[in-house]
Amino acid sequence: MQLHRLGSFHQSRLSFMRILLRRLEGEAWTFDRPVFDIDACGVGRAVYSAHGPDRSYSLVAFANDLPPEKRSDRVIATEWDATFTLFDGVPTTADLDRLQDNVPKQEAGRVSEKELSLSRANRSVRLWEHVVERLSQGQQPERQKVADVGYLMRTTAVYGSGKFGAADREMTADRPEFLAPFQVEMLSVFLTRAFVMDLVEHMAKMRAPDTAVPLDPDLRRRFGIGNSTGLGMAPFLLNHPALLNNWIGAREEALSRIRNLETAHAPEVENFRRFALRARLHAEEWHSEHPVQIEKLAALRHDMAALLAHLDSTDLTADMPWNRLWLWAEDALSVEGQELLASLLMEPYPHLVDGMATCMAADEPATWRINGAMPLDELRALVEDIYGWALAIDWTVREAQARVWYTSEAKLEPRLGERFEEELDAYEQPLCPGRDAARMYADLQGSEEATVAGFLMRHPEHRHVARRAQIAGRLPYAEIRDNTIDASVMPIDMLRLKLSFFGACHFDPRSDRWVRINMYQHAPFPHELGERSGDDWAYPFLKGGVV
Amino acid sequence: MSWSLNEIETLSRKAARGAGLSWGLAEEAGKAARWLTAAGLPGPQVLADLLTRNDGADYETLCPMEADEGRWVARGGTLCPLISGAVLCDNAQRLGTGDLTLGRTAAPMLLLPYLDAAARQCGSSLTVRWNGTTVTLGNNAQAMGDSLDTPMADQITIASSTAEKAANPLPQHNRGDMPANVAQCLKAFAERTYAPETEESRLSGAGAGLTDND
């Protein structure tokens, strides 16, 4: 549970996008576009509906003609190229009119319990104009340019559960389609990708009705939907320890099942090898300008070559083959490569892995209350066990607590500041469990109270971290065991951890606290589900290989 | 205006922190306001009023101390229900074994979510009484009386009780309303937790790229 490892995770069979598309395909969901009312300037609205066995959901999209100087991916932006909400059902015209007055304003507007999410996206200026221009001239865009960027729009926030008036997750969490985490948000993004591709073709047609052509379907699937993510995701992981535990726990259980297999059938080994080849291709197509990621990518490409060479020289059908492979990788591969291997190992074994998806949601209230009857010695022991690494840190050294997590009054943007250079201490958010546990431990050592209840009555300032310690005592993967305020902390590690569980790829850090990604690249579009697999799309396809 | 329960919880948590409670107590205050709203009770209103009254008060004056066996009072004269509630919850097992009396307590309605959690923890229903109001908590929460939202109770008794089928269980709501002045009050407390905008913070704090127009 250390950041350098968590920050090297990759998408897998347990990613929330793949869980969603498996369901949509398995239940034969249907899709239609009841509204597409967008003018030549690209302004207007559209509705994309998804119909499942029991319910329908609709992405309501508002397209905007955004002046370039207003284009910002940050929370503090106030206008976007497109804004969205996922509607619970199929909206009436009155619903659309109400939403048109609110959704384009995002945080400054209000939605209702009929809406499940609120999101926005900005164009990739580099690629958008190129694609519109080429299509309008009857030509396909250049493949290399498509590969360089990978998407036409990137979402800059996808708000769910109760935000800005939307329905709380608890209102829909018992629906089968939303049992797994973030299915609302993943459905919203899946439909957003379909809208964006329709929009770019529409804009080309409006520009040159006589010559414009649609995108070639194979090239079209190479466009994912981008996302630009800042620090907001990091607090989420720290504020939802039970959820984090279940995500990591599901992954660990899946890996454990596979590593414990006594033998593997030849087709499973061949299947694994083909996925490794595709993962190598993915690593080759993955670009970043960030020095840390450049280094990790160089190591990953080296790892993939080493893995494929090793596969050619090793019998993986007998003698606990996957466990042997894993133990080999612990010495032979970088952390980035080891984590890719973890994801790859799951691919040949859907029957061992996919069922774990149902364990990834969390009953957070069940583990949240403090057990005041716990003897204080037990809390001391818990702290030593869970936060031993933090007790070993000298917190008087400035570097150990150089950073401060805080919320800015500017649109409540989450930020990370320099404790010894800015006046921020008074606004610090409780996102440094290690330091707080060490502080609590110092008071625990001097306390003569018999129970946690007595201790916390005297020390209310330790209440939040006592709760964390007890949760982590119940749930082994609930706590990140690293210093989140160290001078060297890389918040992008936390962002990548969460985004990898979403199913994102092509992590491209823009700084130590900001990352761009791609989602649903190579996935079928809604109308293609059924003809194309909703499960097998997360790695690029080999030339002439599997469809 | 209709609020989601998550909005009410988040705003209440921040407001409680802004009013000076520790993060751990503020987390529970947020859950308390949410629980009351879900039960159809004016949680945010009562919370806003309490935070205003206790703004700047020292924790030591508000927290409970055991004056006599089974009787808690505040050093400062009036117990804070957010602190007492958390302490009651921490002592859930004790609540299951004997009656407890609280001296003068502000906004006793705010105790209910904590006692409900305590009842579930100790596996027994709890009955709490003040000023002619009786509330049973646990699996069959129900309330009777007209002083539920009183700003002050001089004495509160908490007793474990056998769970009977509630005749009029508290209804469950999944949205909440709060008057504009209440929302404004809570927002004003919450704003104390936000760092003022500075140029340096704006440029470096979020760490975004210099341009997104690419």
Question: DSSP per residue over A12-42, as a string?
Answer: -TTSHHHHHHHHHHHTT-EEEEEEEEE-TTS
* Residue pLDDT, tens place only, A66-81: 998 889 888 889 999 9
Any B CB within 8 A of A408 CB: yes
Quick one: which of A505, A509, A510 has its CA closest to A15? A505
Q: What is the mean pLDDT of residues B147-161?
A: 94
Which element (helix H / strand E) includes A434?
helix A433-446
CB count in 10 Å sphere of residue B203:
11
Strands (E), A170-265: 224-229
Contact assignment for B24 to A460 by CB distance below 8 Å: yes
Structural tokens at position B186: 């809570």
Residue A15: strand pairing partners: none
Q: Is B2 on the interface with A (CB under 8 A)?
A: yes
Nearest to B174 by CA among B46, B31, B3: B3
Contacts (Cβ under 8 Å, ≥6 apart) of A179: A173, A358, A361
Q: Is B145 at the interface with chain A, CB within 8 A? A: no
- Residue pair A418/A402 in contact (Cβ under 8 Å)? The answer is yes
So what's the pLDDT on residue A496?
97
Q: Determine the Cα–Cα distance for residues B77 and B64; give it in Å rounded to an integer.
A: 10
CA distances from A431 to A1, A46, A159, B183 (A): 16, 40, 21, 26
All residues of chain B having their beta carbon less than 8 Å from the beta carbon of residue A74 are 206, 208, 212
Q: What is the mean pLDDT of residues A27-39?
A: 98
Rounded CA-CA distance B128/B143 in Å is: 10
Cβ–Cβ of B214/A124 closer than 8 Å?
yes
Residues of chain B found within 8 Å of residue A456, distances taken between Cβ atoms: 24, 86-87, 90
Inter-chain residue contact A462 with B24, CB threshold 8 Å: yes
Residues of B in contact with A408 (CB under 8 A): 194-195, 197, 201-202, 205
Least confident residue range of A72-81, A212-221, A326-335, A359-368: A72-81
Task: Give A480's DSSP letter.
Answer: -
Mean pLDDT, all residues of chain A: 96
Residues with Cβ within 8 Å of A421's Cβ and at least 6 positions away in sequence, in order, are none
pLDDT of residue B29: 98
Q: A210: burial class by Cβ within 10 Å (0-12, 13-18, 19+)?
A: exposed
Q: What is the distance between the alpha carbons of residues A516 and A185, in angstroms, rounded to a whole number?
A: 17
Q: Which residues of chain A are within 8 Å of residue B88 when distances are taken between CB atoms? A: none
**What pLDDT, in 10s, does the model give residues A396-416?**
999 999 999 999 998 888 899
- In chain B, residues with a C-beta closer than 8 Å to the C-beta of A125 are 213-214
Q: Do A427 and B194 touch (CB under 8 A)?
A: yes
pLDDT tens-digit profile of A487-522? 999 999 999 999 999 999 999 999 999 999 999 999
Q: Which residue has the higher pLDDT, B205 or A32?
A: A32
Supply A149's token pair.
């960027």
CA distance linking residue A383 with residue A472, whole number of Å = 10
Q: Which of A53, A56, A65, A17 is nearest to A33 (CA)?
A: A56
Q: From CA A444, how far away is CA A279, in angstroms rounded?
A: 49
Q: How many CB pairs under 8 A join A and B?
A: 164
pLDDT in tens, B53-110: 999 999 999 999 998 889 999 999 999 999 999 999 999 999 988 899 999 999 999 9
How far is residue A415's CA from residue A407's CA, in Å, rounded to a whole number? 6
pLDDT tens digits along B10-31: 999 999 999 999 999 999 999 9
Q: Is the CB of residue A162 less than 8 Å away from at least one CB of chain B?
A: yes
* C-alpha B124, offset from chain centre: 21
Residue A547 has pLDDT above 70, yes or no: no
* Average pLDDT across chain B, whole number: 92
- Is the distance from CB of A484 to CB of A478 less than 8 angstroms? no
Q: How far is CA B177 from CA A374, B36, B44, B150, in A?
A: 38, 12, 9, 19
User: What integer pLDDT is reported at residue A546 of this predicted model?
Assistant: 45
Element (H, E) at B25: helix B23-38
- Locate the domains of chain A by residue range: 3-230, 241-361, 364-474
Answer whether B177 touches A (CB < 8 Å). Answer: no
User: Is residue A53 predicted with pLDDT exceeding 50?
Assistant: yes
Which among A535, A522, A492, A119 has a CA at the least distance from the CA of A357?
Answer: A535
Please tell me the distance from the alpha carbon of residue A314 to that of residue A325, in angstroms, as a whole number.
9
Quick check: B199 contacting A, CB < 8 Å? no
Residue A543 has pLDDT above 90, yes or no: no
